[in-house]
Amino acid sequence: MMKLRRALVSVGLGVVALTGATLVASPAAAAPAGTTSLAAVLAADGDTFDRHWYDFDIADQAIAAVLQAKPDSPVAVLADGSVPLTAFLPNDRAFQLLALDLTHQWLRTEEQVLTAVAGAVGIDAVEQVLLYHVVPGVTIDSGTALRSDDAVLTTAQGATFRVDVLSRWFSLVRLVDQDPDAFNPFLIRSKLDINEGNVQIAHGITAVLRPINL
């Protein structure tokens, strides 16, 4: 795991960039103006672990753990609701599957999962993985995403992933990351446009995006 830790920490932070296809905004979409932060939304359910594997407690607690260890981390942008960004949030089950891949153990509580992932790769790597899920400078709603097949997004971590629209009718969108050996996540239809109306928006995804080949 030392190789993974060094590789992730060595990647610099980037700014939003688009290559390939261009993001196409929904024709009737009004520019969002709200400034509620994603951090506030994630903490709204009590800011704790629970037994529900299809919300975002582990992502919430991972953000808190990074900021506790590194108060000046760029992850803090998620708490500044005036900064436009789009986050793709792995649900708790996604982190459980990542922990299984890293440790070969099926862990049964959310707290065990976060502890195992952080212990396997280190807090600096957790920070870089979180930043890989954030596209800064742009508010991408689900309608825009569905019209943006083959768009390549540069994340706050500096690497890219590709938007692969498999079906606009069924809202079936895959995100193709930098690990060719792992399953690529899909957007979760029931968890789209989290924090809609604000300049920070999020979409739930089924797996953790990987900025390198793990």
pLDDT tens per residue, range 64-83: 999 999 999 999 999 999 99
pLDDT of 6 strictly over 70? no
Q: Which two tokens stand for residue 189?
A: 């239809």
Residue 25 has a pLDDT of 60
pLDDT digits (tens, 9 = 90+) for 51-61: 999 999 999 99
Half-sphere exposure of 29 (CA within 13 A, CB side): 20
- On the 0-12 / 13-18 / 19+ scale of CB atoms within 10 A, 153 is buried
Closest by alpha carbon to 64, among 51, 75, 49?
75
Cα separation of 26 and 158, whole Å? 27
Q: What are phi and psi of 152, to 5 degrees?
A: -110, 120
Q: Across all residues in the chain, what is the average pLDDT? A: 89
Say which residue, 1 or 192, is predicted with more confidence.
192
Q: What is the average per-residue pLDDT within 137-164?
A: 97
Give the DSSP per-residue string, the chain: -HHHHHHHHTSPP----EEEBPP---TTPPPP-B---HHHHHHTT-SS--S-TTS-HHHHHHHHHHHHH-TT-GGGGGG-TTS-EEEEEE-HHHHHHHHHHHHS----SHHHHHHHHHHHH-HHHHHHHHHHTEEET----HHHHHT-TTEEEE-TTS-EEEEEEEETTTTEEEEE-S-TTSPPPBB-GGG-SBTTTBSEEEEEESS---SS--
Report the percent of the chain where pLDDT is more than 90: 79
Q: What pairing do the DSSP bridges indicate for beta strands 160-167 and 172-176?
A: antiparallel
Confidence band of 22 (pLDDT split at 50, 70, 90): low
Whether 21 has a pLDDT exceeding 90, the answer reads no
2-205 CATH, one of 1.10.1660.10, 2.40.30.10, 1.10.3720.10, 2.30.180.10: 2.30.180.10
pLDDT digits (tens, 9 = 90+) for 84-119: 999 999 999 999 999 999 999 999 999 999 999 999
Q: Band of the pLDDT at 8, cuts 50, 70, 90? A: very low
50's tokens = 């629970």
